[in-house]
Amino acid sequence: MGTAYGSTRCISITSLPERGRAYCRGYVSAITVVPATESPRFTAVLEDLAAEYRAADAGPRPKVSLVWLGQRRVPGIEAGTYLAFEGMVSVIEGRPTIFNPRYEIIGRPEADA
């Protein structure tokens, strides 16, 4: 199965590099909308869907933050949405973070009902 972004290979969130470009998938576990008094940005926290992750593994589920600068909302992105995303990874406050990622919605909460 190909990816939305050419020949890029999808990796798990646990395998994200500290720096560099990555293509990954996950589901939105939380979103953050900043107050109107702050510069616009929209943040979604995604958790790993990788088959390698098992509930019995020690520690919390792997997470990555996706941050869209200059936007207060990103249409279609809400808690429970499944996304494929690509961008440059950096670590901010100990968590892998991608600013202004390319993304594709691959499932919505309503579709599972």
Sketch the domain layout of the chain as residue ranges. Answer: 13-51+60-112
pLDDT at residue 29 in the model: 94
pLDDT at residue 48 in the model: 82
Q: Is residue 75 classed exposed, middle or buried when 0-12, 13-18 and 19+ CB atoms within 10 A define those classes?
A: exposed
At the second CATH level, the architecture of 13-51+60-112 is Beta Barrel (2.40)
Instruction: Output the tens digit of pLDDT for each of the chain's 113 residues.
Output: 344 444 467 888 888 888 999 999 999 999 998 999 999 999 999 998 654 555 555 567 789 999 999 999 999 999 999 999 999 999 999 999 999 999 999 987 664 44
pLDDT at residue 57 in the model: 59
pTM: predicted TM-score of the whole model, two decimal places: 0.81
pLDDT at residue 38 in the model: 95
Of the candidates 29, 5, 6, the one whose C-alpha atom is nearest the C-alpha of residue 95 is 29
- Sign of the C-alpha dihedral, residues 85, 71, 78, 98? positive
**Structure tokens that stand for 67 in this block:** 């941050």
